[in-house]
């Protein structure tokens, strides 16, 4: 990997962009393609499932990005250094860590199958490719849950899973990821502490720790309790404010929840950086500018908020008074679907549906189709450049060189 100072600089200066591939998303070709495309577009962090095969697919894409780095720069895209590679863990049940399931043989023959049309990941299929498979494609499902309430027969349920502390240390140690994100909820301090105990010995290997927590009664007190448990930290700390999980591709209004929660956490003066997620989409940056929550010294006339009060003993720890970055999940993935679907049409035919979903060597690589690759990067750039555009004019030639 190249020097990761650039992603951390983005975090500190307030133009951090994170791609969320999905804590439950295990479709290896898609993870590889998404990682490659958003890396070349200038993403600062790629967040993937804590699955060795998924991590390996993302790393393969990061290595591939180095071979396209100079071309990306010539085309005016934001690639400078490789992004941080982050894995997501959870200390208890969480909507990000689940899969949908149902028995297709129980579906009424007259059912209009609204589950199939509403699934943003195209994970629900019936008689796919004449392989007589009907149901949920496990590798594609990332647990958004939209199929559950829409099923007329109430047949769809979810299978949840929790990160075990015993598996965390080998994952961090052996795969050498750059960052870890912990999904938690108010009231789970003891569960968080058990998971944190497995991570703490390996903190020296990490560049960032992210805490993702939805809103709830007692949220700020809970986040302070987490900070007291974690301090002192040898790496950057990110508070991910998960407004409306996995809903960024639904409508323009979903971003309001993310901004509202971000403002709430900012006002608490917690040490570290606040990054939006959950409902983020193409309108998020515009709305942040409208309420002056981006870093004013890079903005187009925006001003920063006043300094937030914080306990005296924390004055040595960095805090920010603006949103440091934005994470995009379902919106970022779905917007590339038209191009990636075109890539799928070039995939070799196989008699095994499961093999075509699992084995990346049986899929067509995006990097082998330059026209589609650069179309995808250009599309991703329209999202990445929104938060990066405030600093593009300040970059010098030296600052955009890539270490190859």
Query: Mean pLDDT score of the chain, rounded to an integer?
Result: 80
Percent of the chain with pLDDT over 70: 75
pLDDT for the residue numbered 221: 97
pLDDT for the residue numbered 163: 64
402 vs 342, more confident? 342
CB crowding 214-230: b at 16 or more within 10 Å, else e? bbeeebeebbbebbeeb
Convert the pLDDT of each residue in 192-235 to its tens digit: 999 999 889 888 889 999 999 999 999 999 999 999 999 999 99
**Domain formed by 98-160, architecture:** 2-Layer Sandwich (3.30)
Residue 162, phi-psi category: left (phi > 0), alpha (psi -120 to 50), beta (remainder): beta
Interatomic CA distance for residues 376 and 380, integer angstroms:
6
Residues comprising the chain, all counted: 404
Tokens of 143: 């647990």
Fold equal for 7-95+163-298+320-333 and 98-160 = no
Residue 215, phi-psi category: left (phi > 0), alpha (psi -120 to 50), beta (remainder): beta
Convert the pLDDT of each residue in 285-341 to its tens digit: 999 999 999 885 433 333 333 333 333 333 334 566 899 999 999 899 989 988 988
Convert the pLDDT of each residue in 12-61 to its tens digit: 999 999 999 987 787 889 999 999 999 999 999 999 988 888 899 999 99
Percent of the chain with pLDDT over 90: 44
Q: Which residue has the tokens 């509403």?
A: 118
pLDDT for the residue numbered 394: 38
Work out the number of other CB atoms within 10 angstroms of the CB of residue 111.
Answer: 14
Q: Which of helix, strand or coil describes residue 402?
A: coil
- Phi, psi (rounded to 5 degrees) for 208: -160, 145
CA-based nearest residue to 392, from 73, 108, 64: 73
Q: Which of 79-88, 122-131, 136-145, 380-389 has the lowest mean pLDDT?
A: 122-131
pLDDT for the residue numbered 176: 78
7-95+163-298+320-333 is a CATH 3.40.50.261 domain: no
pLDDT for the residue numbered 311: 35
245 pLDDT band, cuts 50/70/90, is low
Is the predicted pLDDT of residue 155 greater than 50, yes or no? yes
Q: Which of helix, strand or coil describes residue 370?
A: helix
96 pLDDT band, cuts 50/70/90, is low
Q: What is the DSSP letter of 44?
A: S
Give the mean model confidence (pLDDT) for residues 122-136: 72
Measured at the alpha carbon of residue 217, what is the angle toward residues 157 and 241, in degrees to the nearest 5? Answer: 70
- What contacts 228, CB < 8 A, 6 or more positions away? none
pLDDT for the residue numbered 308: 38
Domain boundaries along the sequence of the chain: 7-95+163-298+320-333, 98-160
Highest mean pLDDT out of 107-111, 183-187, 339-343, 349-353: 183-187
Is the predicted pLDDT of residue 4 greater than 70, yes or no? no
Spell out the SS3 assignment of 225-293.
Answer: HHHHHHCCCCCEEEEEEECCCCCCCCCHHHHHHHHHHHHHHHHCCCCEEEEEECCCCCCHHHHHHHCCC
Task: Specify the long-range contacts of residues 63-72, CB closer than 8 Å, at least 24 apart.
Answer: 64/36, 64/367, 65/35, 65/36, 65/39, 65/40, 66/2, 66/402, 66/404, 67/367, 68/36, 68/40, 68/367, 68/373, 69/40, 69/402, 69/404, 70/402, 70/404, 72/40, 72/41, 72/377
Cβ atoms of residues 293 and 263 within 8 Å? yes
Interatomic CA distance for residues 188 and 123, integer angstroms:
31
CA-based nearest residue to 297, from 267, 320, 314: 320
Cβ atoms of residues 69 and 404 within 8 Å? yes
pLDDT for the residue numbered 305: 36
Work out the number of other CB atoms within 10 angstroms of the CB of residue 379.
Answer: 15
Q: At what angle do helices 52-74 and 28-40 cross, to 10 degrees?
A: 30
Q: Going by DSSP bridges, is the β-strand pair 325-328/16-20 parallel, antiparallel, or unpaired? A: parallel
Cβ atoms of residues 291 and 386 within 8 Å? no
Q: Which residue has the tokens 């860590």?
A: 97
Interatomic CA distance for residues 229 and 251, integer angstroms:
37
pLDDT for the residue numbered 75: 95
pLDDT for the residue numbered 297: 47
């Amino acid at each position: 990997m190249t020097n990761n100072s650039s992603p951390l600089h983005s975090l500190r200066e307030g133009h951090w962009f994170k791609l969320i591939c999905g804590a439950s998303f295990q479709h290896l070709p898609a993870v590889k393609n998404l990682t490659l495309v958003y890396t070349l577009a200038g993403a600062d962090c790629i967040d993937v499932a804590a699955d060795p095969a998924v991590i390996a697919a993302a790393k393969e894409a990061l290595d591939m990005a180095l071979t396209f780095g100079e071309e990306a720069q010539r085309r005016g895209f934001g690639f400078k250094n490789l992004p941080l590679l982050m894995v997501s863990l959870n200390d208890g049940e969480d909507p990000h860590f689940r899969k949908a399931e149902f028995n297709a043989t129980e579906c009424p023959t007259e059912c209009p199958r609204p589950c199939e049309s509403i699934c943003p990941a195209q994970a629900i299929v019936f008689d796919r490719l004449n392989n007589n498979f009907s149901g949920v494609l496990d590798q594609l499902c990332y647990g958004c849950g939209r199929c559950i309430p829409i099923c007329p027969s109430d047949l769809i349920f979810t299978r949840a899973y929790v990160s075990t502390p015993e598996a965390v240390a080998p994952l961090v140690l052996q795969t050498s990821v750059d960052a870890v994100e912990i999904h938690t909820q108010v009231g789970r301090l003891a569960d968080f502490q058990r998971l944190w105990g497995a991570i703490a010995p390996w903190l020296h290997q990490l560049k960032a720790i992210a805490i993702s927590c939805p809103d709830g009664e007692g949220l700020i007190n809970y986040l302070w309790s987490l900070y007291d448990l974690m301090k002192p930290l040898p790496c950057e700390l990110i508070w991910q404010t998960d407004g409306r999980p996995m809903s960024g591709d639904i409508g323009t209004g979903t971003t309001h929840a993310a901004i509202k929660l971000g403002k709430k956490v900012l006002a608490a003066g917690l040490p570290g950086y606040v990054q939006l997620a959950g409902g983020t989409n193409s309108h998020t940056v515009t709305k942040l500018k409208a309420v002056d929550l981006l870093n004013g010294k890079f903005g187009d006339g925006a001003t920063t908020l006043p300094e937030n009060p914080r306990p005296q003993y924390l004055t040595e720890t960095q805090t920010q008074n603006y949103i440091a970055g934005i994470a995009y999940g379902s919106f970022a993935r779905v917007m590339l679907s038209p191009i990636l679907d075109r890539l799928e049409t070039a995939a070799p035919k196989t008699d095994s549906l499961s093999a075509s979903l699992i084995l990346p060597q049986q899929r067509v690589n995006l990097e082998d189709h330059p026209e589609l690759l650069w179309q995808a990067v250009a599309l991703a750039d329209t999202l990445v450049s929104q938060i990066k555009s405030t600093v593009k004019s300040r970059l010098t030639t030296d600052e955009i060189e890539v270490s190859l």
